[in-house]
Amino acid sequence: MTQTNELKQPTVLVVDDTPANIDVLVAHLTQENLELIVALSGEEGLSLAQQHKPDLILLDIMMPGMDGYEVCRRLKQDAATTDIPIVFLSARDSELDMEKGLSYGAIDYISKPFSIPVLKARLRNHLALKQKGDRLAELAGTDELTSLVNRRHFNQVFRQEWMRAIRNQSELSLLMIDVDYFKAYNDSLGHAEGDNCLKKIAQALLQGLRDPADIVARFGGEEFVVLLPDTDSAGAARVAERLRTLVQNLKLPHPGSANGGLVSISLGGATCIPNHHLTELGLLQQADTQLYKAKEGGRNRVCLEMAAKSQ
Ligand SMILES: Nc1nc2c(ncn2[C@@H]2O[C@H](COP(=O)(O)OP(=O)(O)OP(=O)(O)O)[C@@H](O)[C@H]2O)c(=O)[nH]1
């Protein structure tokens, strides 16, 4: 999930096997502050949609090879493209055709010949709705205090990465992180300072991850979780130590801490090659057990376990 409030130029994919139709649309839509991509067949349209994830697709129906209905059906079946609004643009104008197009999941059906101003107005409305939907989805997966992804979003990514690791038989590492003596921090400096401290720790953790596939989430309260796909236990140990050091180096004064008067974190980690006998919850529990050991061992430290590879 991208965490940005920037409004980017919407991308519209036009799919039509008649170059003259595409020329007309491009000529009129270039003034609309859109990024336009064009495809001359259903197959090409499908592939460009999967690659670019446009904000809207203008889709012809009658095309040789894969027709518009099939392109629509496939895009709606794929979780990665299902939310892209599709507008059919077709010479077929019977009630049955329109009903069929909309029942495939298209947001709108415009029959040719069409009015350019009306087409533009409809596109603007659909794009505005798409933008709102994107923003809502982003907010639903974001932790309000730290702006990290929240537990809900983390669980979705964890599921996907778990399944991917089963397919590829690759190693997956998980780190559970807990702020040390945080109750004492709140008690001595106040809850607002506690919130500030969590924000700073969140930024430090984010900074400490270098691989774009790595993800850090607020797990709840003063607990964070890091998922490291394609990472063995040695790699996880390096990342964990880097994160611990980054937080230590924030040098946030902590009157109630036994660790040199500074805010620190404890980390527990576990690694496995997922299979159908292991569970995500199992890996979380392994990491949590290690976190408990890190706390017991004096805090401000990392404890890791190599989980069972297979049964
Ligand atoms: N300011 C603030 N405090 C929070 C938030 N979420 C959880 N906390 C506090 O975090 C503290 C966690 O305390 P404990 O679970 O007792 O653990 P601890 O004091 O950190 O001690 P150890 O984990 O054993 O080092 C509690 O006082 C919670 O109120 C939050 O969003 N903001």
Name the residue with the closest Cα to ligand 1, atom 6.
221
Segment 184-197 shows an average pLDDT of 96
For ligand 1, is residue 224 a contact (CB within 6 Å)? no
pTM of the model: 0.76
pLDDT of 35-79, one tens digit each? 999 999 999 999 999 999 999 999 999 999 999 999 999 999 998
Q: Is 199 in the pocket of ligand 1 (CB under 6 A)?
A: no
Q: Which two tokens stand for residue 278?
A: 């292991």
User: Measured in whole angstroms, how far is the alpha carbon of residue 142 from the centre of its chain?
Assistant: 10
CA of 254 to the centre of ligand 1 (A): 13
Q: Which residues, in sequence order, are CB contacts of 308 under 8 Å at separation 6+?
A: 272, 278
* 143 CB near ligand 1 (under 6 Å): no
Cβ of residue 194 lying under 6 Å from some atom of ligand 1 = yes
Q: pLDDT per residue over 73-97, tens digit each?
A: 999 999 889 999 999 999 988 999 9
Q: Which fold has domain 151-306?
A: Alpha-Beta Plaits (3.30.70)
pLDDT at 260: 84
Ligand 1 within 6 A of CB of 299: yes
pLDDT band at 3 (very low <50, low <70, confident <90, very high): very low
Helix axes 233-248, 191-208, angle to 10 degrees: 140
**Measured in Å, how far apart are the chain's first and last C-alpha atoms?**
34
Q: Is 193 in the pocket of ligand 1 (CB under 6 A)?
A: no
Ligand 1 atom nearest 185 alpha carbon = 19
Ligand 1 within 6 A of 155 CB? Answer: no
Compute the mean pLDDT over every residue in the chain, rounded to the nearest whole number: 93
Locate the domains of the chain by residue range: 11-140, 151-306
Q: Is omega for the bond preceding 253 within 30 degrees of 0, making it cis?
A: no
Interstrand relation of 86-90 and 108-111 (parallel, antiparallel or unpaired): parallel
Q: What is the pLDDT of residues 228-239, one digit of tens each?
A: 999 999 999 999
Q: Do domains 11-140 and 151-306 have the same CATH topology?
A: no
Q: Which residues are catalytic?
A: 222
Which residue among 145, 178, 179, 183 has the greatest number of ligand 1 atoms within 8 angstroms of its CB, and so is best to mutate? 183
**Residue 260, exposed/middle/buried by CB under 10 A (0-12, 13-18, 19+)?**
exposed
List the CATH code of the domain at 11-140: 3.40.50.2300
Statement: residue 311 has pLDDT above 70: no
Of 78, 87, 79, the closest CA to residue 57 belongs to 87
Closest Cα to atom 15, ligand 1: which residue? 183
The alpha helices in the chain, defined as continuous H runs, are 19-29, 42-52, 68-77, 95-103, 116-140, 151-168, 182-189, 191-208, 233-248, 280-296
| Whether the Cβ atoms of residue 65 and residue 57 lie closer than 8 Å to each other | no
How remote is the CA of residue 192 from the centroid of ligand 1, in Å?
13
**Section 237-249 average pLDDT:** 98
Query: 257 pLDDT exceeds 60?
Result: yes
Pocket perturbation via mutation, ligand 1, pick of 181, 186, 223, 296 by most ligand atoms within 8 A of CB? 186
Pocket test for ligand 1, best of 180, 181, 182, 188 (most atoms within 8 A of CB): 182
Q: Which two tokens stand for residue 196?
A: 């500030």
CA of 208 to the centre of ligand 1 (A): 22
- What is the ipTM for the molecules in this complex? 0.91
